Amino acid sequence: MKAGHIAKVNTGEFPMSKIMPWIDELPEAAKTDFPARRDGIVAMLDEAAELVRKAEELRAKAYFTGCTLEGDAKAHWSGQAVEEAKARVRW
């Protein structure tokens, strides 16, 4: 990929099969390792998209778990005590 060019992870705008399609237009490209190298880039982008999905899922789970912990703290101590503790640490 040329410096300064950004490959978008599968956003639906361009199918992943269209990453660097110009390689297929080069004379005798199929006899080189360029198509395979391009396929490696596609695989990396697929993996990146999956990791982003997993990160978003984990972030949501952490947020929900944090809310549950705060609710449990307010059940154990008073809501005011929890809010004062949060204010002391500027949370």
Closest by Cα among 60, 68, 5 to 52: 60
What is the Cα–Cα distance from 31 to 47, expressed in whole angstroms?
27
CB of 38 closer than 8 Å to CB of 1: no
Q: Averaged over 62-89, what is the pLDDT?
A: 98
What angle (nearest 5°) sits at the alpha carbon of residue 10, between those of residues 61 and 34? 130
Backbone region of residue 79 per phi and psi (left: phi > 0; alpha: psi in -120 to 50; beta: other values): alpha
CB of 20 closer than 8 Å to CB of 44: no
Per-residue pLDDT of 12-70, as tens digits, reads 444 656 899 999 999 999 999 999 999 999 999 999 999 999 999 999 999 999 999 99
